[in-house]
Structure 1
Amino acid sequence: MPEVREETPLTITETSTPNVILDVQQTSCCIVGGGPTGAVLALILARQGIHVTLLEAHKTFERDFRGDVVHGGGMELLDQLGLTERLLDQIPHSTAKAIQYIIDGQTIPFVEWSHLKGTQYPYMTIISQSRLIQFLTAEAKRYPNFQLRMGANVQQLIEEDGSIRGVRYRGQGGWHEVRSHLTVGADGRFSQVRKLAGMELIETAAPLDVFWFRLPRHASEPEGLFVRLGNKRFLVTYNTYDGNWQIGYYILKGQYREIQAAGIEALRQSIVEVVPEFGDRVQHLESWKQVSFLSIKVGRLDHWYRPGLLLIGDAAHVMLPMGGIGINYGIQDAVAAANILIEPLKHGKVELNHLARVQRQRQWQIQLIQNLQYFMQRQVSIKALQSGYTFKLPIYWGLPPWRDLIARLLAFGVLPPHVKAEYRL
């Protein structure tokens, strides 16, 4: 039986000290991880004349990401950087203005971003993450003080006198070294930098896992994000920029092998039980090779920093996939970090208190949204998977104050950062 593709980190095991370093680069800030978080931080720093090196472990950005969602808050930050008009002109995208629940054929409105006031982006933008990263790094390449190294698999942190002074990575034919005033780990949920630094997530139980796959979408079908419940099934679907439905098929943790053993036909049948209109297209799901499996892991670091080292984005706090907020909160981390660190980096004096300020500004907001995700998971996701057709949404779920609060928190958070006026384009 073919294996389901499981989302795992790209790492190379390397325990020995390199005999030969092919080159040594000096930079002010070395950012590990070329996702949206690292790319936004690198771009802002480069615009301010700071020498920055961005290291990405993969050799190309052309791969299938599952997080192709940028909420209104993230779009506003990109707008403050003068990017959104060209971004949306150049890259195909779609939008979702609401989250709706569908239970036993009944549609129940929930989040409606179109009701939010004071924003230019009252919707969720669905855009290729790979294209987004390429756009951001292309912008950064306009500045001669920016360097992007692809296929750079970081294997060691350089530590001197109790402070991180850079990294060593494998790629391009051997070992390379980047020495820096500050190293930033923005390398995602499986962060290699976090592992090398001996920093461990405080994990919270996440009793759900999810299968990700796509099915064709008919042009006549409505746009939006739909949570579809029924027969102990929990599916999330939203329209993508390329004419498909992106589908998250949630399961209770521990059911992975059982569902896989039942076969792809059983998976197709269970999809149709919840979404009958997909009966005319589930045959496109031909094998497990088209399915990605994500073992949901949730947690956050107690300390995001060490002398000379800062972790942000998923490297510092792994979010639940619920609400698709990962990119948003990662971009917010990058902006908050840039606002605080630009001047210290310009003077080559990044102190521990600067790194602590980044964590103080962001940590409580991350904790709040994670707690909200946990609450929503307990109240809806888990109960729906356990209760089947007897499940009903909590009464307060449909109340406008609750719906508006969730809409704003998902889109912006509590006190979202803004790019400082002097750093805007």
Structure 2
Amino acid sequence: MTQPDLPDITTDCAIVGAGPAGLMLGLLLARAGLDVTVMEKHGDFLRDFRGDTIHPSTLDVMHELGLLDELLKLPHTQASRLHAEIGGRDVTLADFSRLPTRCRFIAFMPQWDFLDFLAREAARRPNFHLVMPAQVDGLIEAEGRIAGLRATTPRGALTLRAALVVGADGRNSVVRQKAGLEVESFGSPSDVLWMKLSHQPGDPPYVMGHGGPRQGFVMVDRGDYWQCGYVVRKGSFADVKAAGLEAFRAQVAAVSPLPASRMEEIASWDDVQLLSVRIDRLKRWWRPGLICIGDAAHAMSPIGGFGVNLAIQDAVAAANILTRPLKEGRLAARDLAAVEARRRFPTWATQKLQLMMRRGRRQREASGEERAGGPPGFLRSIARWPLLAHLAGRLVGLGFRPEDVRGARERNSGSAAAI
């Protein structure tokens, strides 16, 4: 039996995607008194190997919202420095100890815990609504602007009319595809194969590590296990699988500081998940009545863990700029353009930095300056000049343009009413 269609819903803002960008924006707009509906295609947040780094800039946002102490009660690990093993010695890649922030560390926290925390906080407000699972099928256009969306839910079809639709549905965004927004791709020469390995006494003492020759190896300490990423040439996963699981274990063991016997925990290819790496961004982030933020507007390489934190900063900027026009019923194209203008430079600069890291290595390999067994050039530079670790810490920890929640400092000091 087919489900009857649900009644049409009208909301101030319809957000597609309950990731970091979508839930943070939903929380901020709901705190401001706007009616917000967030649509998420999955039924829960439990997906492995998502961006799990919460940077100092995001921790500052949580402090401004009065939520930092409660957030840090959740299971997590902290890293005041990021390390790599290069040439058999431990090298500090990024040092956060001198940042002008409240938290001089990165928090490694499973993303599902972070998202669940944001969703619970937002749900304290009766004007916040989270619909999951809900698959967006199309956008509603009226009088030259986007005026809502249509979605399918287990309870039937849903029509949602809104003053603003926000695409925050990730790098494979349905919203940006349905809106016909043009994507500019910058490619990537690599993919990442993610896996879990147990954490044992005597394992390396650092929270994040990187080692190996052409294929890099990253380890993130999750307490009772390591989240490990093995970098391979773009599109080569099929070749890796064709060579067999035993050969793969041997390749990982060759670049991992963990004992080779630990690789037996990779029991089948089901224990290996592919992250297809790409770098892209929209040529324009908006249409009248619609804007994309986070990965939907700009997919990032996992280098530096920038993606989650850029998404959060996008959400803060969008809330700062769009709240008043939405509340006053006068949202215009210039407001959406202002969000893009505010966030385009940090997006461009971060992607430029990631591309320069890869380009520099390819140029050295082509000229013969970098031997096949050497680490990327930017790692060798930091190893040679340790003061660069503080610069890297600032770029990773704060980014190129950290955002403040508008009015948060005044509210925290009691000089203004809460949003």
TM-score, length-scaled by structure 2: 0.91
Percent identity reads 37
CA drift of 1:285 comes to 0.7
- 2:251 is aligned to 270
Tell me if the contact between 1:33 and 1:56 (Cα under 8 Å) persists in the aligned partners.
Answer: yes
Q: CA deviation at 1:149?
A: 0.4
Greater displacement, 171-180 / 390-399: 390-399
Instruction: Tell me, yes or no, if the aligned pair for 2:170 and 2:296 is still in contact at 8 Å.
Output: yes
Would you say the 8 A contact 1:38–1:54 is kept in 2?
Answer: yes
- 2:79 — aligned with what? 96
Residue 207 of structure 1: which of 181, 189, 208 is its match? 189
Q: Which runs of 5+ in 1 are unaligned?
A: 1-17
Q: How does 1:15-414 map to 2 (within 5 A)?
A: 21-89=5-73, 91-114=74-97, 116-221=98-203, 222-230=205-213, 232-240=214-222, 242-380=223-361, 387-390=371-374, 393=377, 396-398=381-383, 399-414=385-400
When residues 143 and 345 of structure 1 are mapped into structure 2, their CA distance, relative to the original with a 3 A threshold, is same
Q: Distance in 2 between matches of 1:162 and 1:278?
A: 61
Offset of residue 297 of structure 1 = 1.7
Aligned residue type for 1:214: K
Closer, same or farther: CA 333–191 of 1 in aligned 2, 3 Å? same
1:276 is displaced (CA, Å) by: 4.6
> What's the CA shift string for 1:270-298, capped at 9, x where partnerless?
11112253323111111110111111121
Instruction: Note the C-alpha offset of 1:97.
Output: 2.2
SS at match of 1:39: helix
CA distance in 1, matches of 2:122, 2:265: 39
- Distance in structure 2 (CA, Å) of the matches to 1:253 and 1:387: 20
One-letter amino acid matched to 2:194: W
Deviation per CA, 1:76-130: give whole Å up to 9, x if none: 11111111101111x210122222221342222221112x232121111110111
Contact 2:92 / 2:386 at 8 angstroms: preserved in 1?
no
SS of the residue aligned with 1:67? coil
CA gap of 1:136–1:391, structure 2 versus 1, over 3 A, is: closer
1: CA distance between counterparts of 2:206 and 2:390? 20
**Residues 311 and 228 (structure 1), Cα distance of their counterparts in 2 relative to 1, 3 Å cut:** same
* CA displacement, residues 307-363 of structure 1 (integer Å, 9 cap, x when unaligned): 000100000000011011111010000000000011111112211100001000000
Q: Residue type of the partner of 1:273?
A: A
Judging changes above 3 Å, is the alpha-carbon distance between structure 1 residues 210 and 126 closer, same or farther for their aligned structure 2 residues? same
Judging changes above 3 Å, is the alpha-carbon distance between structure 1 residues 130 and 390 closer, same or farther for their aligned structure 2 residues?
closer
Q: C-alpha root-mean-square deviation of aligned residues, in Å?
A: 2.2
Aligned in 2, Cα 1:325/1:390: closer, same or farther, shift over 3 Å? closer
Quick check: 1:416 aligned with 2:397?
Answer: no
Could you tell me whether the CA contact under 8 Å between 2:168 and 2:295 is conserved in 1?
A: yes
User: What's the CA shift for 1:392?
Assistant: 7.0
Give the SS at the match of 1:277. Answer: coil
* Runs of 5+ consecutive residues of structure 2 not aligned to the other structure: 413-417
Q: How many angstroms apart in 2 are the aligned matches of 1:237 and 1:192?
A: 32
Residues matched between the structures, number: 404
Tell me the distance in 2 between the aligned counterparts of 1:276 and 1:48. 49
**How far off its partner does 1:198 sit?**
0.8
1:178 is paired with a residue of what secondary structure?
strand
